[in-house]
């Protein structure tokens, strides 16, 4: 059944491309312009210099002042840097940085769970420059920030508590009575790796950006089909599920369909989920692009999708609750 569906889906898309070439071209153009004008100039420089920093050992030096706080949360400077990259640069930079560190065995199981859950979110630049201006003028933009980032704090806190409880249990279970010591929960890699050359890092980043651009283009085409062939709530759901930016814009223009709280919550949920395009980008960056393209970096895409659904649901509910406390205009 799975093989049949895997063959039918591209056949269906191919039929749509052939029967509606103009619509396909418009969707592809929108996707590529989004990548060229926004994603590439914003993400590529940070991706390049972030990888250079990591390759040459600058991460530990940069986050050394925050080591006590990170240690209290069960995190190293590497997972802290991946989290920071995700919060500042948005999709899929957090998971890309986490995957790079994980391939070098620099992340524990707790750090991988934590980063899978909270390292992917829309960037502050995207929120301020794109999502917030599309809210109803009566809705405070800081409510959107609270609705998007508060769930990350909640989920992160719960995972840190879970890690402390399980660590305490494992310590009691594996405590050696003969030696009076605890078996380590994580072993760090002792091998010394040679930093990659600038040309290698540059080509890796360019290759990854081209893949991201192709994925944005493909899912923009799907969003264009949903926009043309569907109507009402189903149209908005399909567009927002396919591609985040197009979905936010479509929801913002749907004033007659939703009330202001529901419309605002839907925008927050769309931004928190990131769309299938964001999931495809994340799935691409957590795989080794050179040695084995089908080898997962140890970060589960299934868990990532589940956490994105949780994040979107919490953001939707929280935004509506915030708006109910807002005095009537």
pLDDT by residue (tens digit) across 178-234?
A: 444 444 445 444 445 677 788 888 998 898 889 889 999 999 999 999 988 988 889
The fraction of the chain above a pLDDT of 70, given in percent, is 86
The pLDDT, as a whole number, for residue 315 is 95
The pLDDT, as a whole number, for residue 239 is 93
The pLDDT, as a whole number, for residue 180 is 47
Region 21-43: mean pLDDT is: 89
The pLDDT, as a whole number, for residue 173 is 60
Please report which confidence band the pLDDT of residue 142 belongs to, taking 50, 70 and 90 as the band edges: very high
Q: Of residues 190 and 15, which shows the higher confidence score?
A: 15
300 vs 62: CA distance, rounded Å: 28
Q: Of residues 179 and 256, which shows the higher confidence score?
A: 256
Please report which confidence band the pLDDT of residue 73 belongs to, taking 50, 70 and 90 as the band edges: confident
Q: Of residues 291 and 90, which shows the higher confidence score?
A: 90
264 vs 270: CA distance, rounded Å: 10
The fraction of the chain above a pLDDT of 90, given in percent, is 36
The pLDDT, as a whole number, for residue 211 is 87
The pLDDT, as a whole number, for residue 172 is 61
The pLDDT, as a whole number, for residue 135 is 92
The pLDDT, as a whole number, for residue 294 is 46
2-11, 53-62, 114-123, 293-302, range with greatest mean pLDDT: 114-123
Q: Residue 3 pLDDT more than 80?
A: no
Comparing CA positions, the residue from 174, 179, 170, 175 lying closest to residue 108 is: 170
The pLDDT, as a whole number, for residue 168 is 66
Region 25-35: mean pLDDT is: 91
64-78, 105-119, 244-258, range with greatest mean pLDDT: 105-119
Q: Of residues 257 and 65, which shows the higher confidence score?
A: 65
User: Chain-wide mean pLDDT for the chain?
Assistant: 84
Q: Residue 60 pLDDT more than 90?
A: no
Q: Is the pTM of this model over 0.95?
A: no
The pLDDT, as a whole number, for residue 174 is 55
3-state secondary structure the chain: CHHHHHHHHHHHHHHHHHHCHHHHHHHHHHHHHHHHHHHHHHHHHHHHHHHHHHHCCHHHHHCHHHHHHHHHCCCCHHHHHHHHHHHHHCCCHHHHHHHHHHHCCCCCHHHHHHHHHHCCCCCHHHHHHHHHHHCCCCCCHHHHHHHHHHHHHHHHHHHHHHHHHHHHHHHHHCEECCCCEECCCCCCCCCCCCCCCHHHHHHHHHHHHHHHHHHHHHHHHHHHHHHHHCCHHHHHHHHHHHCHHHHHHHHHCCCCCCCHHHHHHHHHHHHHHCHHHHHHHHHHHCECCCCCCCCECCCCHHHHHHHHHHHHHHHHHHHHHHHHCCCCC
The pLDDT, as a whole number, for residue 189 is 46
């Amino acid at each position: 059944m799975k093989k049949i569906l895997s063959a039918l889906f591209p056949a269906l898309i191919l039929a749509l491309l052939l029967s509606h070439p103009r619509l396909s071209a418009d969707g592809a153009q929108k996707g590529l312009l989004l990548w060229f004008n926004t994603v590439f100039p914003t993400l590529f420089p940070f991706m390049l210099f972030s990888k250079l920093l990591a390759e040459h050992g600058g991460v530990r030096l940069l986050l050394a002042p925050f080591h006590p706080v990170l240690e209290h949360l069960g995190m190293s400077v590497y997972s802290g840097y991946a989290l920071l990259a995700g919060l500042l640069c948005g999709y899929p930079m957090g998971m890309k940085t986490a995957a790079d560190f994980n391939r070098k065995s620099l992340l524990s199981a707790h750090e991988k769970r934590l980063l899978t859950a909270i390292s992917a979110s829309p960037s502050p630049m995207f929120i301020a420059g794109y999502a917030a201006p599309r809210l109803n003028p009566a809705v405070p933009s800081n409510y959107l920030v609270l609705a998007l980032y508060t769930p990350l704090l909640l989920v992160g806190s719960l995972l840190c508590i879970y890690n402390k409880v399980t660590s305490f249990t494992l310590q009691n279970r594996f405590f050696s009575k003969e030696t009076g010591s605890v078996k380590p929960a994580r072993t760090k890699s002792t091998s010394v790796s040679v930093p990659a050359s600038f040309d290698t890092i540059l080509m890796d980043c360019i290759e990854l950006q081209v893949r991201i651009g192709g994925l944005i283009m493909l899912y923009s085409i799907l969003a264009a089909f949903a926009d043309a062939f569907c109507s009402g709530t189903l149209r908005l759901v399909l567009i927002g599920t396919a591609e985040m930016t197009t979905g936010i814009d479509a929801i913002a223009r749907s004033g007659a369909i939703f009330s202001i709280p529901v419309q605002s919550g839907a925008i927050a949920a769309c931004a928190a989920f990131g769309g299938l395009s964001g999931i495809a980008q994340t799935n691409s960056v957590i795989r080794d692009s050179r040695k084995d393209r089908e080898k997962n970096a140890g970060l589960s895409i299934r868990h990532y999708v589940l956490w994105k659904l949780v994040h979107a649901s919490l953001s939707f509910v929280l935004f509506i609750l915030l708006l109910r406390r807002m005095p009537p205009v």
